[in-house]
Each structure stands twice: as C-alpha cells, then as structure tokens.
Structure 1
Amino acid sequence: MLTAVLAAIAITAPAHAGAAAGGTVDITVTPSGFTAPETVRAGTLTLTVRSQDPQGAWVGLVRLRPGVRLERYLRHLKQAMDDDPRTSVAGGRAVSEDVVMLGGAAAGHVPATVTTVVTPGEYHLVDFRDVQEPDFAGRVRPLRVTGPAGSPRSSSPSPSPQPSSLPQPSPAPAVITATDSGFVTPRRLTSGSPVLVVNRSSQFNEAMLMPVRPGTTTADLDAFFSGTGGYPFTAGPTGVVPMSPSRAALLTAALPPGEYALVTWVRNLRTGRMLAQEGMRELVDITPADGSTP
C-alpha cells in the first residue's frame, strides 16, 4: 500500500533529520538543494515535494542494485540526461541496470505528493534537476528503510507494487497507464484527487502534467515535438518522475484547473528518440474539486 502526506521541512533543518514517523518524507527544495530524514519505516512511503527553486524539483527515489556503487549510478545518470541522443541512450540503458526506480514527485508552482511501497534496505533521494550541478553527488540524500521489529533486512530491490496494493481512495482514483503504445488516461482529472500512475511499458518512464495555452490541440503538440511548432506550455511539470517497468505510484496535486498536456520527456532506449516525439502525449482537462466548470 501507498499512503501519507508530506509537509515542507524548514530550510534551516539539518541535512540528516533523524527518523521520520509513519513512512513519510517531507521535502522542500531550494536552489542549493534539499534536506530529508535519513530513516523511514518499511511499507507505504509517501514523498511530498515543494519547490522554492524557480526551476522546480524532480525528486526521485532509487535503490541501487546489488554490487552497484552510487558513483557509478550518478555517472550514468549524467550521461542519460545528456542532450546527445547517443550518449543519453547509452546512459539510460546503464541506469536501468544500476537501479530500481521507484518514482517520486515533480513539483513546481504547487506541491506534489507521491506514494509508493518500499522494503527494508538502503535507498537514495535524487533531484534530477541537479544533475549538472558541480556538487551534484553532495546533494543526493541516503534514505534507510527499516522493517518491523524482528524482520530481516532485505538486500533485494523492493517488489513492484501492484495497483491493488496501493491505497484505494473513495471514490476509486483515476488511472494513468504508460504503455509502449502511449498513455492510457481519462480525458478529465479532478484537481487534488489521487491519480494512480502505472508503468506498463518496457522501460523506465514518467508521467508529467504541464499546463498549455487554452485551445491547444493535439496537432499543436505534434508540431512542437516534431520541431515545426511553437512552445505550447505555460508552466513546468507536475507529476511522477521515472519509475522502472511494472511499478505504480499514487499522485496527488492540487493543480489549477485548466488544459494540460500529459507527456514524458524520457527517451526511447531502443530508438534514441524522445517518447513524446513518438506519440506518447495526451491532452487532459483538470477540473475543479467542486465539480464546477473551470
């Protein structure tokens, strides 16, 4: 199951704030980085991310595979986020071998909460926005997940949470599914209501909601991603950062009602092209929580 709510932690709080009760991690991101607790309990884990950085924040949770050192993963992650498709694809494939990606929250003008499931072991919190910073390695925060009293420590990656294992709000949450053929999503989502994001594609993937100019069409998105049209977005992304295949997470964000594009900025690790360029993009409406017309 996945549950919890995160509140921002003070900018002046120490980088290692001790154990966080109840499987919650509260994170505020600033231009100089973020702080986080160093220990949480196994089971449902919720990350709430708030950004005081104008560039926003993309805070993800990863678990190194056995035998992989953090330095190796960070080197490959920098390659994966390179602008050269050849470098980024090679880096992305290496990252897939280095870590299990459990998702996390992309937040900009509003906070975002993402809930997932973790087993005991050693993890790391990474703000992918910091990858080009000279002190990037120093900004990564270790996170130890401890089990119930008497439970053995697991050295294996966390099992992939199935949608049925996540918290089931009432009414049932909307579901966004990433597949190798594109996103499967409702046309309308309610602001502030939980959305279950499931990665059924064959590689790591993300789900980002970005506001667009009123009246934006699918043809406008096609033109932008093909390089023949203008920039349709009016603000940065809110959503779930990359998750490994077969993982799921619950996203909650009180986005302003309006028109949005659901996109991924991840590259296809076979073709080298951005998945959004290959059609992985959809238009959705965010409707007010009270059901009124935005």
Structure 2
Amino acid sequence: MSKLPPLRLGVNVDHVATLRNARAGTRPDPVRAALAAIAAGADGITAHLREDRRHIRDQDMARLKAEISKPLNFEMAATEDMLKISLATRPHAVCLVPERRAELTTEGGLDVVGQHNALAPYIARLGDAGIRVSLFISAEPRQIEMAARLRAPVIEIHTGGWCDAVVDGRSARAEAEWQRIVHGARLARSAGLEVHAGHGLDYGTAETIAGLPEIVELNIGYYMIGEAIFVGLGETVRMMRAAMDRGRKAIARAGTA
C-alpha cells in the first residue's frame, strides 16, 4: 500500500469567542486559544465569521492572520461583504459554507448544484487572489461532481448527520450515513479534489474517519472546546491527535496484513 498523506487537524476556535461574547468582554481570547492549540499540535486554525458576528468578529480574523504561525481557514458565506473581508485578510484558505441567521450551527452542506452560477465568481475571485477555496458539502455524488466542475480544489464533507446518529445510538442510520461518506470521499478523490471532513466529530468518530485514506484534514471545534473545560485545550488537542493517529495506523496495519 502506498504511503498515506498525513492527516491534518484544524482546530475551530469559534466557541471560545461565543463564551467571550456572553459577557461582552475580551476574555477568553480566541487568538490565545489558537496559539495554545498550535503549541499542542494543531496543524491549522479554523474560524467562521458569520454575518451576525455571533462569535468570531472582524478583529479576531485580522489578529488570527497576523499572530498565528499555522494556516488560517476562514469559513464564510458567499456574500460580497465576506468576500471583501477575506480578500483583505488573505487567509491560507476560505471554506464557503451555507448560513442562516436562525440556525444554531451549520445545518447542512452547500447546495452547489442549485447555486453553481452564484458560487462560481466567488471561487474564481478567491482563487485569483491565491486563496485556496473549499466547499462545505454533503457526501452526495451530484454535489461532489459539481464541486469538481466549479474547479474548487477542496471539499469538506459535512459529517454532522453521521455523528449525530452515532451519538444517538441509531445504528442503521449511522451506517447509512457512514457509507455515504465512504463513497463520497472516494468519488471526490477520483475527481481530483482534496478531501477534508468536519462537523460534530469527537474522539471516537475522528478515529473512525481517520481510517479513510482519501481524507487529509479534519476540522473540529465545538466538541474540543467543551472537552477543554475539563482537561485543558492543550490536552484536548493531544488526545484528538492521538485518536486520529490510531485511525490512520489502522489503515497501515490493514494494508500490510
């Protein structure tokens, strides 16, 4: 079996900002959290600048770009306002995500099939600026094929449905969602796309999905910030990295069996 690409861990610091904003102050600082995550082994930092600024704020994005030593993944909706901010910030990558004001968290993937004409200019303008574009989509063949046609170099598979089913103990639903992810990752890789995954992942599901050789990056936030309350953010990053490494090693063992 050929050597697998390393599996990167992107830590999402949105909910450090959620906690800060609860008191309308300056602490805890999401940039400090990002620096701590990197010191513990994170390969990059993810932050979602929402239209309503419910957690991350404009200045957070500017400081993250200026102060962290690892790649910044700027999550955003495809709007002119967000495009302007991202072009000024110049992150390593932009992940285009769907966004509704009423949602508690991102509820699904982009409909790139239905919105391809609207998304195409954003992908082109970000790419022209040297910013790597990722599309946050469900593991559906039609969406993956359209992402490839739009020439976005990366997709991030929405893992929320699978993770929710695992947590709720709905084994049949979990298996169906898992098979969608497995087949979607293979299809995306065969289409020349780099494949990331995220949403709802914990230690167990991260270890499982790390066993998919097509996936090269996981972006994880809410669960890790919650766990950090009990063991600290550095230890949470180290434990997540260990879970991912166990999943990756399982592929290597299977390949030499």
TM over 0.5: same fold? no
TM-score band by shorter chain is: under 0.3
More helix by share: 2
